[in-house]
Structure 1
């Protein structure tokens, strides 16, 4: 349960590269593991993997085929720490999930009972660069022989290479090897990818091997296919007779006995003629090596294709540093071109994310990156990132000396678009509605119409992929297609001008509705087959199925496009309502709460004939869920819940009724109506028992534990929390994942707080740390928010300044990154609590005043008593006795009206302390108040609060000269503790006890 010890920092052991600049890459299945960069990619896309799971993977692949014991793996991932094996199992499970273990028969990590774990998939180890020595070895010996009949290196007119080739060294090395082995290689890729730059670099690399016989032919300016042979002959310096119309025979004769490299650059617009001549050369001139560049395959005999990949871009991460970002070629090129433009801006940790976002948006395409870099001089890094996100301009200009087709992205794409057939053009702009990857079935559904058949669409798609206007990749065992962002922007403009926009978007919206509906229909199939993977029941299996098969958030971007159209003046609101009901749960899973609330409001306002239906209920429930953590009006929220509950009962939907009861429980807790939260929890438990819902039973027990904790019944809280965990294990319930977070994490946090109140300070800290670690694995923003928020309170109560400050800092950063409405005020408030612990009373008072002004208005009562008490203490320490007195008196009165708040003993203790100092309470009244606080804490089972009040009372008695009585009271309470003796409260109590100990007791 508690999971052992944890550390914020670990020293990991990683393989060292053989030489500087190398990156060891381990390839298995669709994965590439960059060991030194600590990056796992699936089909070129970064995989989100926790630090410890990555350590375990590296350890396993290093000794692939061997069995590593649990002890070895724990030592690797948790160096120097003693941890429970449960932590290893959790991380192994997470690793398997990320690798797609079991899908399509994939097997990577195998558990050998009693022995350990083994990595069983075949692995290939490569390095990302080649040394000069290796380059020598991979070239054929015959390429190094002399050929006096060819021109020398110094006589040749090969374009100069770039002085600094960024991120293409590995491609140049691989192409050199391919040319040596196969003679005929085509570099294929979209416009602007850098094919020409790489080809010229390869040509220069191989000049010596060919004794200077390297011929470069740029076909970009050739306007007619018939001119291709003449252009090549001209570059070769062949003198043709006037009567010879076709120089092919001369070219073939020139190369027949020659050893040479012929580079044919920019072939796509004259591809038929170029391909035919290249094939003839390959067959008849055995010593000629051919290197072609094109946006389309030549598709002739002898051709070996090299797809030039985009420049590597770092994954988007809020905590990426400038040093981390500059390890990636895309960012290196971007900043190199920023500097060359005369911009004074340098990359810092604060601006690194903007550079990464720009390079991601440019898809790692060299030309697009260079054009974006040109904006930094006038807009800055942040301004350029915002400009691209809001209005991606295809007409940005690059270098004046660049070929016309490369001076803007518009020109580059116009060049490709003009080469397309009418069918290909129609398919291309219709597919621009897809924001994320799509499969062939989806493309056919959208692009097919009365004129274009599915077969014709499939043919057009194959041609577009061949011409590098569609890129393909393997996702979850299925081939998917996507348009690069620049291509999609261009195609979207074509769609808008085509007159087909509304028809295509209607078809797109209907397709998304059909797909999401199909996922829901497969829920029963998922439950039957996936429980072994998930190890238990969940409240929303259909959502988990959908996301495990499409990738996190893959569908959401497409949903936004369809919803925006459906609710527009040109759209169809009925389609929008249906799509919102299907899309909203996905938005919740991603914690996109504000967006979810907005779409639900739009849909509910246009229900029409769907009022009172299951669709209405889904929208009502998701409106409630999204509002729980983002809206201020608690009364409106309660009304929405009641409406949802009535609908659920009318439709006999017990699952949603249970979920809405959970929402009602949360609202009651937030409002400080803890007794009502208990009542709601019992209703939930009765319903769960009645309908036989395993997840409902577990969730209801945890709800009861939370409610009893807040009412001040810590014994009851522990009983129900433990019962919930017991039921979860017995019923196989691994996740209760609704309201955008994992309820197990909330339960662990409540358990940690209850343990501290009960006097188990050390176990409380251990459990609180476990909650944060599990939230990290859960990867849901709201789960992490709750874990950080309430784990912080445990360490604040313990008096652990450094750990509570670290958690609060993470909380503030986290709420700043995600859309959590006014929850940012909790971060401000807890930062004030840290300042109070540090003795920075003015800072604490100022921050608490700021946070409480919002929390009181929003009636977020769950923490306001604690914060108001801290506010009064901070003011007291600042000498503001009157205001401190007023705040603490009001807080006590407010809490006592409800008679059910766990923190009433603390409020009474502080009231007595301030009352004595201000003169509002005499000795006798203060003693009575502290005795009442002790008795109340004792009845609640809150030993830690009992100690605090006992310490305050004993100090009061000692100041009155009654040290023996003070000693007796405090020693009796202190003696009941079995742990936590190094925490602040217990150390203080111990010092007082030793000071007041009677002489005969020493």
Structure 2
């Protein structure tokens, strides 16, 4: 007899081997009467091997019969085979079941017996053994529900009638079964009844199903009355599972049992409440998943959704632990499946075949709808498609239509939005509102209240299903049009302004819908005007949430489209401003950014819009400053001050004073910079409600940094360092993230100048991470340059040199030349420390020539001092040249009022003069510089100079 014939004849047989019994029909493996979990693939492998017991089954045959056309490899087979053998205890206590025949395949070698006698466990609804098996089959879905089970058990004890309500697949049955496991010792096995209504389709069969479950034999004409009488004096736990398709008969029965059987505790599970007296509803939410975008493995596994995924993935064949690299991917899978336990299980069941990244790819293609799950579940739970079909088929026609139209929304939406998009006429609004609330009741739409409004959303899986229904109807294009027009109208009415971050954050829930509306609008020529208007009006939303790529992309598309439209100059100016802000921070200081700023200024000046001009002049000031044109930045700041003086606005004047102060500092006018900073702070004190965010920066913070730097250069080191540290702490709490990165770039140098290297490393590293995370490429390069400078100052010149070379390459690429002189100075110093004097001399000379060409007087004292220190090194030291360079450095510092740089150069020159015995000149050099400094300046240079003079006395 062939193997196939034998297998066919034995399809209903019980196969016994060792202590095991294998029930093919019920797909159940028992050991000593207890279920053994071997997974779906493991079960199929075991059947294939036992069907041909004693024969060698090739690996190819196993792959074909078990995986049934799904592409996998021998590695996957080995993993499942290893898992199966462990479950059987193969090799333990001399037990042998499956043998690997090298080069050929596998053979089942244990003796087997076949029997047609049913396995010894009961299958009736009230069997405690059955409930135990049900609990085991839901173990994965139970992850993270301990507190919920405890809470519901207390509710059940005090209220007697609790309904667990939630979306399909969210784990309602799992929680119910867990409750049975928790409470059955209290009630006694014989007093627990479980009724699965999922298999009951006819309303008339409801009473009979309950009668059978509770163990009652009745024969009267009124089964409900007899059932109520039977339970009247009994203390029982009765569970009604999957009630949503039979709400009317179950509600009537539950209501009567609650009233007439006072010792019965009734637990129901349903996708919507029963709405009867006495019912307490527990809304079962999704499993929590990581909130952050890039969690570590440890952080991800702290959430139940990820733990469930990894648990089920292990059953599918995954043998590795979760890594930090895969943690964000698994977290995104859990997010895409809305934390719905069944959907997570469906996705995880494919990991053995596709891997974690492959499953993520399937989800991206909406392939999750057909992902298979265990065979030993109800048909409606075998795929997401089946689960959603079940829910959809229970809806009335108006509910189906509204649900499909609501799929137009991405993420959160309001009742107002739902009525505007799903309704065709104003008169439809009451009906749409009523239908929406019914869909909420049925757990097909979720509610999320906030401080600002009540929002609704479709779970992503439900939305994908409903969107497919919408695409099959004639509503698709009209609904998309209403959706885009609604959000264009909404954002026009909101009239958001650039920089008002606190206000803008309130509108973040609309983000997904804005993106979708823009995609639809720009997809066809006739709808681009809607896209232009929405892109301009929603640009502050993207900037406020620091979504620079979105802002740059949509602004660019709209600016291209607007060239063919008339009477759009106001929106063009707003788009140019948004494009300039986003692109400058993301892509660097390009000519395209400069052109956008200048074009926007021309439009705003023509329209005499003072505040808008101020914003773009701030952008021009920042742009010119970042490219190292400090004199140009000063000119832009002076233009800004003129606009502010004309407007008379306190806010405008404060910002213009601070902008001018920052420009004066970099242009080399330290005393004037301090004066304008302090004037700005005095004006600010007269009005505490000022909006100080322009072009991605908080200008108060910018002023504090400019003041701190100018004070240090003027010799007030203690005060300057205190302000720098305070600015760093303040920047940590400010939005957007560019503020903290800017604070590090400008405050940390003060601490490095003062020798406080120990407090700098953490801030530098954090700035690098933040800048890279938010695509702030120029600021990331600047922070990396600071890292290199810190390394050279902490006796790690080789590492510093390599870091600075990399940083300079990035700074030049991003056109962020305001820091190239400082980075090149640090690089030359690091090269000199490493003994690479030829490279050091070339590097510092190139940096000086570049600074002179660009008119960067601010950098000259430090560059000249470093050049002097380099030419004094080595066998060919040039003391005369060094002296000349140091005197030039002192003169540059004096011209800027930079006492600190003057003192540092004077100290270096003093050391040189002393070597040559020129003591009187040394005293004449140092005494006036010391006299100009504050006594408590906190400068180590000042202490060194005072000590040197004392030794020369």
TM-score range (shorter-chain normalised) is: 0.7 to 0.9
Structure 2 match to 1:545: 503
Structure 2 match to 1:234: 212
Structure 2 match to 1:518: 493
Structure 2 match to 1:224: 202
Alignment CA distance shift 1:992-1:256 (3 Å): same
Q: How far is 1:387 from its partner? A: 5.9
| Range with bigger deviation, 886-895 or 557-566 | 886-895
For residues 603-626 of structure 1, the C-alpha deviation after alignment (integer angstroms, 9 at most, x for no partner) is: 011113245521121112212222
Check if 1:713 corresponds to 2:669: yes
Quote the Cα distance in structure 1 between the aligned partners of 2:428 and 2:355.
48
Quote the Cα distance in structure 2 between the aligned partners of 1:208 and 1:570.
69
Quote the Cα distance in structure 1 between the aligned partners of 2:901 and 2:878.
23
* 789, 806, 809: which one aligns with 1:853: 809
Structure 1 match to 2:267: 291
Quote the Cα distance in structure 2 between the aligned partners of 1:355 and 1:554.
24
Check if 1:435 corresponds to 2:413: no
Alignment CA distance shift 1:404-1:768 (3 Å): farther
| Range with bigger deviation, 438-447 or 742-751 | 742-751
Structure 1: stretches of 5+ with no match in the other structure: 1-150, 524-537
Alignment CA distance shift 1:413-1:769 (3 Å): farther
Alignment CA distance shift 1:975-1:325 (3 Å): farther
Alignment CA distance shift 1:991-1:315 (3 Å): farther
SS at match of 2:725: helix
Contact 2:828–2:844 (CA under 8 A) maintained in structure 1: yes
Structure 2 match to 1:305: 281
Alignment CA distance shift 1:905-1:414 (3 Å): same
Check if 1:751 corresponds to 2:707: yes
Q: How far is 1:653 from its partner? A: 1.4
Q: How far is 1:153 from its partner? A: 8.9
Alignment CA distance shift 1:769-1:375 (3 Å): farther
Contact 2:785–2:808 (CA under 8 A) maintained in structure 1: yes
* 445, 450, 469: which one aligns with 2:444: 469
Quote the Cα distance in structure 1 between the aligned partners of 2:464 and 2:366.
10
Check if 1:877 corresponds to 2:855: no
* 773, 783, 786: which one aligns with 1:827: 783
Structure 1 match to 2:509: 554
* 398, 413, 436: which one aligns with 1:423: 398
Structure 1 match to 2:230: 254
* 381, 392, 398: which one aligns with 2:373: 398
Alignment CA distance shift 1:309-1:419 (3 Å): same
Quote the Cα distance in structure 2 between the aligned partners of 1:383 and 1:974.
69
Structure 1 match to 2:88: none
Q: How far is 1:559 from its partner? A: 0.9
Structure 2: stretches of 5+ with no match in the other structure: 1-124
Quote the Cα distance in structure 2 between the aligned partners of 1:946 and 1:764.
17
Contact 1:517–1:582 (CA under 8 A) maintained in structure 2: yes
For residues 235-282 of structure 1, the C-alpha deviation after alignment (integer angstroms, 9 at most, x for no partner) is: 2344455xx676334423322332212100000111112112211222
Give the structure-2-normalised TM-score. 0.81
Q: How far is 1:227 from its partner? A: 2.0
Structure 2 match to 1:36: none
Structure 1 match to 2:18: none
For residues 773-806 of structure 1, the C-alpha deviation after alignment (integer angstroms, 9 at most, x for no partner) is: 2222223122222122222322222233332211
SS at match of 1:161: helix
| Range with bigger deviation, 194-203 or 938-947 | 938-947
SS at match of 1:847: helix
SS at match of 2:858: coil
Q: How far is 1:983 from its partner? A: 6.2
Structure 2 match to 1:87: none
Q: How far is 1:898 from its partner? A: 4.7
Quote the Cα distance in structure 1 between the aligned partners of 2:336 and 2:724.
39
- Pairwise mapping of residues 700-779 of structure 1 onto structure 2 (< 5 A)? 700-779=656-735
Alignment CA distance shift 1:823-1:478 (3 Å): closer
Check if 1:161 corresponds to 2:117: no
SS at match of 1:948: helix
Q: How far is 1:730 from its partner? A: 1.5
* 448, 466, 480: which one aligns with 2:455: 480
Check if 1:172 corresponds to 2:172: no
Structure 2 match to 1:276: 252
Alignment CA distance shift 1:470-1:731 (3 Å): same
Q: How far is 1:991 from its partner? A: 6.8
Check if 1:583 corresponds to 2:538: yes
Contact 2:589–2:626 (CA under 8 A) maintained in structure 1: no
Quote the Cα distance in structure 1 between the aligned partners of 2:605 and 2:386.
61
Structure 1 match to 2:165: 188
Contact 1:438–1:481 (CA under 8 A) maintained in structure 2: yes
Check if 1:564 corresponds to 2:519: yes
For residues 793-825 of structure 1, the C-alpha deviation after alignment (integer angstroms, 9 at most, x for no partner) is: 222222333322111100111012112245432
- Pairwise mapping of residues 825-974 of structure 1 onto structure 2 (< 5 A)? 825-917=781-873, 922-963=878-919, 965-966=921-922, 969-970=925-926, 973-974=929-930
Q: How far is 1:845 from its partner? A: 2.0
Structure 2 match to 1:148: none
Contact 1:735–1:744 (CA under 8 A) maintained in structure 2: no
Q: How far is 1:919 from its partner? A: 8.5
Alignment CA distance shift 1:967-1:853 (3 Å): same
SS at match of 1:208: helix
Contact 1:590–1:740 (CA under 8 A) maintained in structure 2: no
Quote the Cα distance in structure 2 between the aligned partners of 1:733 and 1:679.
28
SS at match of 1:343: coil
> Which has the higher Rg, Structure 1 or Structure 2?
2
Structure 1 match to 2:747: 791
Contact 2:801–2:831 (CA under 8 A) maintained in structure 1: yes
Contact 1:588–1:739 (CA under 8 A) maintained in structure 2: no
Alignment CA distance shift 1:961-1:401 (3 Å): farther
Contact 2:659–2:699 (CA under 8 A) maintained in structure 1: no
Structure 2 match to 1:595: 550
SS at match of 1:220: helix
Alignment CA distance shift 1:753-1:346 (3 Å): farther
Check if 1:573 corresponds to 2:544: no
* 239, 245, 250: which one aligns with 1:263: 239
Alignment CA distance shift 1:245-1:769 (3 Å): farther
For residues 883-931 of structure 1, the C-alpha deviation after alignment (integer angstroms, 9 at most, x for no partner) is: 3222222222232345452121011111222234479984333212211
Structure 2 match to 1:86: none
Alignment CA distance shift 1:803-1:344 (3 Å): farther
- Pairwise mapping of residues 189-208 of structure 1 onto structure 2 (< 5 A)? 189-208=166-185
Alignment CA distance shift 1:379-1:276 (3 Å): same
Contact 1:735–1:743 (CA under 8 A) maintained in structure 2: no
Provide the alpha-carbon RMSD of the alignment: 2.9
For residues 77-120 of structure 1, the C-alpha deviation after alignment (integer angstroms, 9 at most, x for no partner) is: xxxxxxxxxxxxxxxxxxxxxxxxxxxxxxxxxxxxxxxxxxxx
Quote the Cα distance in structure 2 between the aligned partners of 1:920 and 1:644.
56
Q: How far is 1:706 from its partner? A: 0.7
SS at match of 2:318: coil
Alignment CA distance shift 1:153-1:267 (3 Å): closer
Alignment CA distance shift 1:840-1:491 (3 Å): same
SS at match of 1:344: coil
SS at match of 1:312: coil
Q: How far is 1:207 from its partner? A: 2.0
Contact 1:186–1:303 (CA under 8 A) maintained in structure 2: yes
Quote the Cα distance in structure 1 between the aligned partners of 2:354 and 2:941.
54
SS at match of 1:468: coil
Alignment CA distance shift 1:344-1:741 (3 Å): farther
Quote the Cα distance in structure 1 between the aligned partners of 2:221 and 2:943.
101
Quote the Cα distance in structure 2 between the aligned partners of 1:665 and 1:509.
37
Contact 1:158–1:214 (CA under 8 A) maintained in structure 2: no
Count of aligned residue pairs for this structure pair = 824
Structure 1 match to 2:7: none
Alignment CA distance shift 1:704-1:910 (3 Å): same
Quote the Cα distance in structure 2 between the aligned partners of 1:604 and 1:238.
76
Quote the Cα distance in structure 1 between the aligned partners of 2:356 and 2:469.
30
Quote the Cα distance in structure 2 between the aligned partners of 1:886 and 1:157.
82
